[in-house]
Amino acid sequence: MLSGDQDLPDGIGMARLAWTRLPTADGAGAGAEGPGPVPASPSSAGYELFAGGVESLDYEVIENYAYREEQAQRSKFWVPYYVMLKWLFSLLIGVGTGLAAIFINLAVENFSGWKYAATFAIIQHSYFVGFFVYIVFNLALVFSSVYIVTNFAPAAAGSGIPEIKGVDTHGILLFRTLVGKIFGSIGSVGGGLALGKEGPLVHTGACIASLLGQGGSAKYHLSSRWRSHLMWRVFFTSAVVAVVVRSAMNWCKSGKCGHFGSGGFIIWDISGGQEDYSYQELLPMAIIGVIGGLLGALFNQLTLYITKWRRTYLHKKGKRVKIFEACLISLVTSTISFVLPLMRKCSSCPQLETNSGIECPRPPGTDGNFVNFYCSKDNEYNDLATIFFNTQDDAIRNLFSAKTFHEYSAQSLITFLVMFYSLAVVTFGTAVPAGQFVPGIMIGSTYGRLVGMFVVKFYKKLNVEEGTYALLGAASFLGGSMRMTVSLCVIMVEITNNLKLLPLIMLVLLISKAVGDFFNEGLYEVQAQLRGIPLLDSRPKQVMRNMSAKDACKNQKVVSLPRVSRIVDIISVLRSNKHNGFPVVDRGQNGESLVIGLILRSHLLVLLQSKVDFQNSPFPCGPGILNRHNTSDFVKPASSKGKSIDDIHLTEDELGLYLDLAPFLNPSPYIVPEDMSLAKVYNLFRQLGLRHIFVVPRPSRVVGLITRQDLLLEENGNNVTTELQSTSVRGQLNGKMLSGSTHLGHPLLDSIEFAHVNTFSFFLTGITGKPQT
């Protein structure tokens, strides 16, 4: 057994050792005062923990001894069992998400139905009393939402989409967050605020998937990183959700669901609308795309400014301020939606086709077109109240509706556009579950219908439908705000059930995204940046192509741990900084520090809490005590809290003991040469889902070259596994096989102790890409 001060076996030349020395604090090539930890610089931005307790997720497989031992013990039936288990959990996730969606929509539709029915019944006698009831109803729902979020589930605020895109935000997937998201969405959306429930539904599905499918990953070891082979399971889960939702909608058509109406789901069938379009219409459609890009970019910028102000000055004052803010916005929203329709004159009901299924005016408290509000005659309707006195889903269905020419006046649409746009900007960022998908469709469909009215009047063509232009307007605003062109295109075609509109939707989406990209980034990217969430774009910045990996970490100072560390030193390192990964070093032939791997902060906390691996000797441990842990011991629980250094309680005697880190570290982390372009490093992080990368000087020799052909191995029983294991164990240097006191039962320790595998020798100059988060 080699100690930390013993020499390495012969065969490792000085060329190898030259690029495996740790740098000093000044960046020199000499060791940093032996293998001890190097203090981190406070200005070392790459090591800082992201704001708000946000951490990157660990998708890299840590091939330590526990992992390799577990892999070796798996039987041939493990793979089919694992596949069936993943499909089973995909089914359960789909059913759970579908049931959650049904419950939320059922509650929102019924609360809205009761609210409008009571309001319309009371205003028949007194508009003032009806106004009071309307405000109180909305205020009670919004108060319940903000109270649940601020006092029970703070992580349920907002849409939740930026927080679940590849990062670990503390508390974002808790069970209480799931409960707060569901009931908070019911209160905020049912209370009439200018926000939607689709974003919160995405977060809800993520919570269900984490709680059901992963169980904290400790039991089932299911990874949540997006990979191409997940497509089929995602498709299957989506199909299950669709079946569950459709079944509930069909069951509710019999009237068993109260005011469920059309279901509250964003399914607006406009297949009976405009069948064809002419080249003359392409210009106004392009104008819709430009308007969507401008308004979408402005929306992103305004919400960014307001959110910054809200976080800096308002929300720091405590929960009561958050509750007061949400209730105040509810009062303003209710007042505007009730008072503005009173200022509009009613219009006579148009002549409708007998088989259209549209009634004018519609009965009070029911969903549909043509609302009779403050009208002197029974055959009149208020076009502005038709938009305000409906749920957002029903209002959009009205705006998309075909064969309803002149249902809305230009003045009413402009009034609603200005007011709802302003309310959406102010409401976004409050302490309630809030999505922007449906509000974005509301805004876009309003100015889209305005353009459609102009086209009908200017071109005087009978086959032009205002509802078609409302759809294009909705697509343009979403493209200008969210910038998700492909997914939005598919979504808009699906929810409208009209494939003929696909080319037009593509046109307005491309134009709106191009215009919006000229000014700023997408809504979720802007909000993620504001929250300190490390989301990487699909491609690197152009400036990164002129930078090297060394440039990204030149101001960093490495904090490392020796292979055999004193417990008190580990505690000191964990308390003195917030790093989440530490290089582990050992002594080389001439006393140089050699990096043998990377150990995570969470793994150190597990070892410190268990205490079973503490030892009295300052020398490396023997192989006989390595069976005390398996991979599940080191997996972070679903609570997203994990362990903290404050949870570790040690006695004075225990602080003086030692811990050999070799069996628990990642012996083969990803490395890049220091002169690699930062753009290539960026793509590695993006495509492999990495959390840390070691930056090293360019190696002086090559031990082999792997091509694709080398990876096309045919499985023949256990031959392939045996061959790969023997290759990693034996190693060959200068044509000679390593021999001596090797541990045949523990090849990993041989690799660490003799340092004859290339991936165990690193010259660590830094870690790129905000690594230790």
673: CATH: 3.10.580.10
Separation of alpha carbons 771 and 768, rounded Å = 6
602 belongs to a structural domain: yes
194 belongs to a structural domain: yes
511 belongs to a structural domain: no
Q: Pinpoint the alpha helices (H) of 428-501.
A: 437-459, 466-482, 485-496
**The pLDDT of residue 751:** 43
Separation of alpha carbons 161 and 436, rounded Å = 11
Separation of alpha carbons 279 and 455, rounded Å = 13
**In this structure, what token pair is assigned to residue 760?**
């165990």
Domain boundary among 253, 279, 309: 253
**The pLDDT of residue 769:** 36
**The pLDDT of residue 269:** 58
- DSSP code for 313: I
Domain boundary among 253, 286, 321: 253
- DSSP code for 212: I
Asked if residue 180 lies in contact with residue 156, where contact means CB atoms within 8 angstroms, the answer is yes
505 belongs to a structural domain: no
What CATH code is carried by the domain that includes residue 129? 1.10.3080.10
Find how far residue 36's CA is from the centre of its chain: 37
757 belongs to a structural domain: no
Spell out, as residue ranges, where the chain has pLDDT lower than 70: 1-53, 166, 213-229, 260-275, 352-358, 363-368, 403-405, 461-462, 622-627, 636-642, 714-773
**What is the span of the domain harbouring residue 169?**
79-253
* Identity at 521, one-letter amino acid code: E
Domain total in the chain: 2
Parallel, antiparallel or unpaired: strands 561-562 and 581-587: parallel
Q: How big is the CA angle at 676 (ends 731 and 8), to the nearest 5 degrees?
A: 30
How far, CA to CA in Å, does 769 sit from each of 278, 352, 551, 642, 645?
Answer: 50, 62, 11, 23, 25
664 belongs to a structural domain: yes
516 belongs to a structural domain: no
Q: Is the pTM of this model over 0.85?
A: no
Question: Strand 593-600's sheet: what is its strand order?
Answer: 561-562, 581-587, 593-600
The neighbouring-strand residues paired with 702 are: none
Domain boundary among 711, 735, 758: 711
Quote the mean pLDDT of the chain.
78
Long-range contacts of 420-425 (CB under 8 A, 24+ apart): 420/194, 420/446, 421/295, 421/299, 423/193, 423/194, 423/329, 423/332, 423/333, 423/336, 424/194, 424/195, 424/299, 425/299, 425/302, 425/303, 425/306
**The pLDDT of residue 544:** 93
**In this structure, what token pair is assigned to residue 656?**
């003086």
**The pLDDT of residue 97:** 93
Which residues are within 8 A (CB) of 698 and not within 5 positions of it... i.e. 6 or more apart?
A: 19, 673, 674, 675
DSSP for 348-406?
A: EPP---TTS---SSPPTTS-SS-B--S-SSTTEEBHHHHHHTS-HHHHHHHHH-SS-TT
**Terminal Cα distance for the chain, rounded:** 34
Phi, psi for 716 (deg, rounded to 5)? -135, 85
561 belongs to a structural domain: yes
